[in-house]
Amino acid sequence: MRYRRRGFIMAGTTTLAFCGLVLAYTPTAQAAIPDAPPCIGASCVGKSPYIRNADGQSCVTGGYNGEGAATSLQTVDAPGDGSSNQVTLRWSAFCQANWAKWSGPSDDAGYADYFSETADGHIEYPEGSGYTYMVNGVQPAEACVLAYTFSWSDGVYACTNWF
């Protein structure tokens, strides 16, 4: 007794006939997997928000939040020194991380003292380019700025709310 095997492909379906039994297999299409962020939450701590993944997306520009860019949560002015020093707490849905972005007159850049902090007390300071290194965005964070006319010992900081 001989068995006959037949196999053929039709419109993406493979059908095999063997001993009177017919098996059909239709492969399912795999969903496209987007590129992963360069870091997520705690793995972003101490890193620049401008680090990039293999696709070139950073935590600042990388994209799963609505506008495709990090969201500004709140801006606060330095307390009463007239310097126009401000910090904005930034958050990236793509990386689940926060950082503080400084803005103010360019001649004040050397005098600005600001940081981002998480609820557990972890603080990240600027890396010199107008923003701090990132903190874990999975927990509440704030951004703070010190008026440049005050010394460290005065400790008069203005901080955003916790987000």
pLDDT digits (tens, 9 = 90+) for 58-90: 999 865 544 556 888 888 887 765 667 788 999
Residue 16 contacts residue 7 (beta carbons within 8 Å):
yes
Q: Is 44 exposed, middle or buried (0-12, 13-18, 19+ CB in 10 A)?
A: buried
Structural domain boundaries, residue 50: 41-159
First vs last Cα of the chain: how many Å apart? 76
Which of 12-21, 37-46, 135-144, 147-156 has the lowest average pLDDT?
12-21
Kindly state whether residue 26 falls inside one of the protein's structural domains: no
Question: How many separate domains does the chain show?
Answer: 1
Q: How far, in Å, are 81, 105, 110, 116 from residue 146 at the CA level?
A: 9, 15, 12, 12
Report pTM: 0.71
Mean pLDDT (the chain) is 76
Kindly state whether residue 31 falls inside one of the protein's structural domains: no
Kindly state whether residue 19 falls inside one of the protein's structural domains: no
CA distance 35 to 45: 20
Residue 87 contacts residue 75 (beta carbons within 8 Å):
yes
Kindly state whether residue 28 falls inside one of the protein's structural domains: no
Kindly state whether residue 105 falls inside one of the protein's structural domains: yes
Kindly state whether residue 30 falls inside one of the protein's structural domains: no
Which of 14-18, 91-95, 108-112 has the lowest average pLDDT?
14-18
Kindly state whether residue 132 falls inside one of the protein's structural domains: yes
Kindly state whether residue 74 falls inside one of the protein's structural domains: yes
